[in-house]
Amino acid sequence: MVGLAPQTVPGAEAVAAAARRAGSRIVLATDRPKPTGITFADAVVPSGGRLVASVRSLQADGAVVLLLSGNRRALGAADCGIGVHREGEPPAWGAHLLVGADLESAGLIVDAVGVAARVDRESALLSAGGSAIGAVAALQAPPNQATARGAAAGTTAGTLAFALGNWRARQLLARPMDPPVTTTPWYLMPVPRVLERLRTGPDGLAPEEAASRTAQGPRRGEPTGTTLPAAFIEELANPLTPVLAAGAALAAAVGSRTDAALVAAITGVSALVGGFQRVRTERALSELFARSAIGARVRRGGTERLVTAGDLVPGDIVVLGPEDVVPADCRVLEAEGLEVDESSLTGESLPVHKSPAPVVGAQLTQRRSMLYEGTTVSAGRAEAVVVATGPATEVGRSLATARQAAPVTGVEARLTALTRSSVPIAVGSAAAVAGAGLLHGLPLTENLASAVNLAVASVPEGLPFLVNAAQLAAARRLADLGALVRNPRTIEALGRADVLCFDKTGTLTEGNLQLAAVSDGGGPQPADRLDAPRKAVLAAALRATPPARQAEPMAHQTDRAVSVGARRAGVGVRRGAPRWRRTDSLPFEPSRAYHATAGRTSHGALLSVKGAPEGVLERVARRRAPGTGRATPLDAEDIKKLADAAEELAGAGRRVLAVAERPMREGEDLTDDTVRDLDFLGFIALADPVRTSAGPATERLREAGVQTVMLTGDHPATADAIAATVMDVPEPKVSTGPELDEMDDARLDELLPTVDVIARCSPHHKVRIVQAYQRLGRVVAMTGDGANDAPAIRLADVGIALGRRGTPAATAAADLVVTDDRLETIVSALMEGRAMWASVRAALAILIGGNFGEVTFSVAISALTGTTPLSARQIMLVNLLTDLAPALAIAVREPTGHTGERLLKEGPSRSLGVALTKEMLLRGVITAAGAGLAWTGARVTGRGRRASTVALAALVGTQLAQTLTTGGLDRHVLIAGLGSAAVLAGIIQTPGVSQFFDCTPLGPFAWAITLGSITVATLFGPILAPMLHLDRAPLEEEAVEEPAATDAAKTAAPR
């Protein structure tokens, strides 16, 4: 019999990953109705003779099609055709580019498409900005220099675009390429054939051959370190930077070079602080990777030595023992009682038996002759040959999938929205000032500088720095709690999370077997409340357990669980067997399925057996009540009932062992043939215990409105039992991966808002689940520790890895690494995210609300006089000393002002919705009122320069008074507020410095006008607040609205 199955071409997954990074849809062209093994395609279209029609159909729908094919006509019809052909075949001359069979180059081309599109957008913005700046510079320049200055601005913009494009291209070429992955079926081949293909032998590779293969093969080490310059440039890539840069250029074009320098300095400092934090975090992650580096015992040239996993090459012979971590993908050569914990790869919590025999296995769980990187040897010993390392391993392929472009969320989206709001305000204020000047008879060239300066000053240049500082402060506090933040922007996204997907094994559970219950065949009792008969069953199981040695751990997890459970229950081997001592044993082997021990007691020889129910029950003849000598015969119906009882115990998510004994005759040897005619005693149930912190953690998350979903590869009954314990839900709704496979996207979208558990869940299912939640508009956090979690962790809005147990793949894909593996830390991280939203709301109200008040005041006075009352330097001074410093203190303060429950109810919809708009409006009106009163009073009693200085002081004072009211007695807020006031007073009263900022020293009467205006405006706030419904705390107001919002969400979810 011959089995045939299609295989993906080496490199196809790398091309798909490149398409994801480029933000493109992946459409698979095939004639198979249900293609299997290809999980990265978004859609399927007909191939062969209908491929041209398929391309035309996509183009008719508005798509720009890049086709990778060998079909000449279809390549000619595509917008961009990349031709592939095998060696010896004619090239596809209809293509625009020919790569032959080199899919690495095809992946690079696809990557370049996304980069080129980004360069196009950035160059268009630079071109438009350069033209606008050139026009302003030409208007301001003398007639004989107008053309030169306009051309200089355009030339500068073009040069910047060229340099930016060159830098993007260098970034692309510096990116490590995904090597093509071959899918050789090593599990199908006999051992001699495997060694022949790998050109190795039982003694391993010669050291020289291993060194040459190291230089040739792909390797994956710890994460590459980020340099400070690179991090600085990445931090500059936020939506507000182009606006600020254009503003600085406009200020320079109209002659305000000092103002332009101030804007550039603030933007640079913000990016430098964020870049420094990123570099420091990456270094901490590198240390984490170094501590978790996997070692391996390798045989080279007949000599065994210890090396790191990164030094292994295909063909190396590795020697593995109990509790060793498999360092690479390997084919088993020899095995002795080998069991492997593959939970980090497949999600199955129970060990899997392995052997050298070739197998036919389409799924990873069926490949009993293979060992995979990151899994752990639970029992036995083995010799294996390395077949894949680095990106070519199963884990490496998962990591390549994890590099898909994550959705744009978090601070980028918020900055984009704020930028879109600030640009129209800036342009509108400039137009209003210029129009007011024209109405008052002033030439456009004379008023243009004031208009441009107001537009530049109205942009909140401290916004990136403010958000970065708030995130960095939260990241430092989380580090003290044991959570390492890879990117500070993760905190902001974590505060928006409303779905948390847990991986069960090692996350909700502890990842090790423990004694759960003991049954005498009638009913189980918990391990901590055993009666005398069941303690006798446990004693018999302990006698059938190999002895523990101090020099090395017990080989089998089941034996360790029985030994530890008996010790905790106060049960010894001599209970029911006086003066028992071991004389002989038959060790456990998968083919034997039991462990038998012969011992001698004061009553004679005793045979004790413990093993799989199906292996032991076929050897029993009687049933004996533990602790008594009475035994009753068993017939086939009785044995079936015992088997059903074992199945019922196993259905609760437990591993079940049967226990039996019988007296031995004098001189009887212990062999497989003598393990018969046994007396059945009972069952031992083992379970992977749930973490004690899991229940309270999930309860708090649900109280915060976060849906928790358990994803596991275990049996549905196991998952159901654990979910009922952890989630405090009487009847958790359980679905399975195969059921998801039968659902289309619409049915999946209808199921997910109500599901609690998804069992038999593969890595592909996890990715689909995360994408479905995001399609529903939910913000997803994914927690896990295994390599199988890496793709979903990376694609989630917030990926969380448990660092102590986490595999390198999961840690590399995560945004947040919980180093202590405590789920309470995840709840603390959520609280920090929600608290950051509350702090940012108050800080943004200070920053943007203050700017809104300044613009309102300036436009109003310009309408009356034709000129702006404040110069650009004065407005910049307000932003630096009265907006930025107090707002920064508000943003970085610790979340001590709210209870934990109220913090968990924070979030963007509550913190940055209507509440923020009302707070900014209130601050703007109060600020404008205070400045307007002060300017009017000072202008009536003095000159214009004095009125401008008084208005500046009133702007500062009014905003600081509101800030101190918000911050209360927080030490940092008091220092920032009072310090800013003192600095501004010093600037105003110091000759020389005062003139630089277009001010004049003030006398007592002017200060009295200032303080009176501040007091009146501040007292005006509580009167205005009820009109805007701000008299209630935002959290309380939105808590009232929450039920209606929840009902609306439930109604909208199925659609």
Give which of 827, 817, 573 is closest to 700, Cα–Cα: 827
> Beta strand pairing status for 594-601 and 97-100?
unpaired
Catalytic residue, chosen from 111, 178, 324, 503, is 503
423's enclosing H/E stretch is: helix 411-439
C-alpha distances (whole Å) from 856 to each of 19, 457, 642, 931, 944 are 47, 13, 84, 10, 19
Under DSSP, the state recorded for 368 is T
C-alpha distances (whole Å) from 874 to each of 147, 791, 870, 878, 992 are 32, 51, 6, 6, 15
DSSP labels for 748-767?
A: HHHHGGG--EEES--HHHHH
Paired with 29 in beta bridges are 45
Q: For residue 1047, count other CB atoms closer than 10 A to its CB.
A: 10
Residues 6+ apart with CB under 8 A from 469: 273, 888, 891, 892
Per the listing, tokens 């095809």 go with 106
Residue 53 CA to its chain's centroid (Å): 40
Pair 802, 783: CB distance under 8 Å: yes
Look at residue 362 and give its three-state secondary structure: coil
C-alpha distances (whole Å) from 404 to each of 15, 796, 865 are 11, 11, 57
Per-residue tokens: 240:
């507000």
Paired with 959 in beta bridges are none
Query: Distance (Å, rounded) from C-alpha 890 to C-alpha 934?
Result: 27
Query: Distance (Å, rounded) from C-alpha 215 to C-alpha 174?
Result: 19
Per-residue tokens: 149:
């200055």
Beta strands of 494-587 (E only): which ranges? 499-503, 514-519, 524-526, 581-586
Q: For residue 197, count other CB atoms closer than 10 A to its CB.
A: 16
SS3 content of the chain, % helix, strand, coil (to 5): 55, 15, 30
State the Cα angle at 473 between 471 and 474, rounded to 5°: 65
Q: How many helices (H) and strands (E) does the chain have?
A: 38, 29
Look at residue 621 and give its three-state secondary structure: strand
Whether 480 is catalytic: no
Pair 67, 80: CB distance under 8 Å: yes
Under DSSP, the state recorded for 517 is E
How many Cα neighbours within 13 Å face the side chain of 1024?
Answer: 17
Q: For residue 825, count other CB atoms closer than 10 A to its CB.
A: 21
Give which of 348, 347, 335, 334 is closest to 379, Cα–Cα: 335
Query: Distance (Å, rounded) from C-alpha 643 to C-alpha 653?
Result: 16
Torsions phi, psi for 856 (to 5 deg): -60, -45
For the beta sheet containing 757-759, the strands, ordered from the edge strand earlier in sequence to the opposite edge, are: 483-485, 816-818, 798-802, 780-784, 499-503, 707-711, 757-759, 734-736
Look at residue 530 and give its three-state secondary structure: coil
Torsions phi, psi for 867 (to 5 deg): -130, 160
Look at residue 663 and give its three-state secondary structure: strand
Residues known to be catalytic: 503
